[in-house]
Amino acid sequence: MLLSQFEITSVDNKIISSWVRQARYRAKRYNLHSDLEISDIHEILQHYNDLCAYCTQYADTLDHAFPLREGVPNVPANVLPCCKNCKESKKNDDLVQYYGQGSVGYG
């Protein structure tokens, strides 16, 4: 049996859909460009093999590498798969600040 692109990832489609909607809403609130689609998220998750980009544990959520509040557009290049531990420790820092804290890899 062949799997569709939406069955390949282990992250639930409802979670992905909700995350994309919330990200679009935040981008609109900050008057930012947003062209992120659900299919983009599936491609990102496949690229990272469903693993957190920061620590390589199972990714159960998504994160903007650079927060929208800093004026960075809501585009696929700014989205990474993430585990909840790394997302909680990264908070609203950008990727450079997070790496500077020495927190990466401890999720």
Per-residue pLDDT tens over the stretch 4-16 = 333 445 667 888 8
- Specify if 47 maps to a domain: yes
Q: Is 106 within the bounds of a domain?
A: no
Residue 99 confidence (pLDDT): 78
Question: Residue 105 falls within a domain, yes or no?
Answer: no
Range of the domain at 76: 5-100
pLDDT tens column, 54-104: 999 999 889 999 999 999 999 999 999 999 999 999 988 888 888 776 655
Residue with tokens 């489609």: 13
**Residue 107 domain flag:** no
Q: Considering the domain boundaries, does residue 69 fall inside one?
A: yes
pLDDT at 10: 60
pLDDT at 97: 85
Q: Is 36 a domain residue?
A: yes
As for how many domains the chain has, the answer is 1
Calpha distance 62→3 (Å, rounded): 22
d(CA 15, CA 107): 20
Looking at the domain assignment, is residue 26 inside a domain? yes
